[in-house]
Structure 1
């Protein structure tokens, strides 16, 4: 079964929606973004979130010590690296935490996809770019042998196509479940039904 990640939660209402919809993963964005949360804000939001929902912290070229601080609060249990973090960076982070690491990759060619095969991150997240709201050519992922998250422009109009075409381990949505820049409960419910029903 495809899993669901809802990213960019930053309000108490978002947490309430997530508790109702129950995605497998909830994302807090610590990088510069309109959905950015502070460590303190995320910590309070985590307390309100169903503990069975895994929390993912999204970082862009962040100091490793800051990531470790947020992990130590148990605000997040997974780390998503969305910048230029290389294998050396992942190795240094891995030395200091057992947290699951997701590395975001923007695949432009099949070579990008092949290179992602050898990443030491636990999962790859294929995305069209940082919050562009646009999809990419999913066919270049054909033959990728690892479990991966699919992001970038997913919404109720195309998510079934994505699942049927490439069967990702998980789908990751943010703007695709929003109206006017804010999470929309009805859109979240619709996506949850579609993902659950395959």
Structure 2
């Protein structure tokens, strides 16, 4: 199962994600986010990660991420832009939207777990579930939804900072549920 950790801001966090076996790292260019990185820092982080872990540049709109989009493996935004590497983030059933991955955030950015609707099964082969996932609930979510992958951000943080032990517990829970 594909596992992404989002909101990374340092080379050390990338190293930890790689060491733990995460498949992807996300870098947030949405200014209101406490995980925000500017285009210059995003480019440095993506370049550092290349060849070791898949990279996502993350924003709400394409305008937010366009300066670094060409560097990332996936562009995760909440608008239907015509990109072959679009990771379309939505909480609505929009099957007509062409995308490489469909990211469903159950919490709509709040980090509070709210479960997943039945219609997500239509996206299963390209679905990344996110939103309020943490080491304590991700195994049940994976078993219930059977997505392509899982995405975490605040669920592996202590005091707003990525925590190595929580990152390890999260990926172990995902891998244990992926039977």
Q: What TM-score, normalized by structure 1, do the two folds share?
A: 0.80
**Matching residue within 61, 68, 71 for 1:70:** 68
Q: Secondary structure at the match of 1:176?
A: helix
Relative to structure 1, the CA distance from residue 140 to residue 16 in structure 2 (aligned partners, 3 Å threshold; closer, same or farther) is same
Which has more radius of gyration?
Answer: 1
Q: Say how many residue pairs are matched.
A: 175
Conserved 8 A contact 1:29-1:36: yes
Match of 1:109 in 2: none
Conserved 8 A contact 1:19-1:50: no
Cα deviation for residue 186 of structure 1 reads 0.6
Conserved 8 A contact 1:18-1:49: no
Between the aligned partners of 1:181 and 1:57, the Cα distance in structure 2 is 20
Structure 2 residue 134 is the aligned partner of structure 1 residue 155: yes
Q: Equivalences for 1:20-169 in 2 at 5 Å?
A: 20-32=19-31, 33-49=33-49, 51-63=51-63, 67=66, 69-72=67-70, 74=71, 76-82=72-78, 85-86=79-80, 90-91=81-82, 94=83, 98=84, 100-106=85-91, 112-113=92-93, 116-141=94-119, 143-146=121-124, 147-169=126-148
Match of 1:170 in 2: 149
Structure 2 residue 171 is the aligned partner of structure 1 residue 192: yes
Relative to structure 1, the CA distance from residue 154 to residue 191 in structure 2 (aligned partners, 3 Å threshold; closer, same or farther) is same
Instruction: In structure 1, list runs of 5 or more residues that go unmatched.
Output: 107-111
| RMSD, aligned CA | 2.0
Conserved 8 A contact 2:115-2:141: no
Q: What TM-score, normalized by structure 2, do the two folds share?
A: 0.87
Conserved 8 A contact 1:128-1:151: yes
Cα deviation for residue 50 of structure 1 reads 5.9
Conserved 8 A contact 2:75-2:86: yes
Q: Secondary structure at the match of 1:17?
A: helix
Instruction: In structure 2, list runs of 5 or more residues that go unmatched.
Output: none
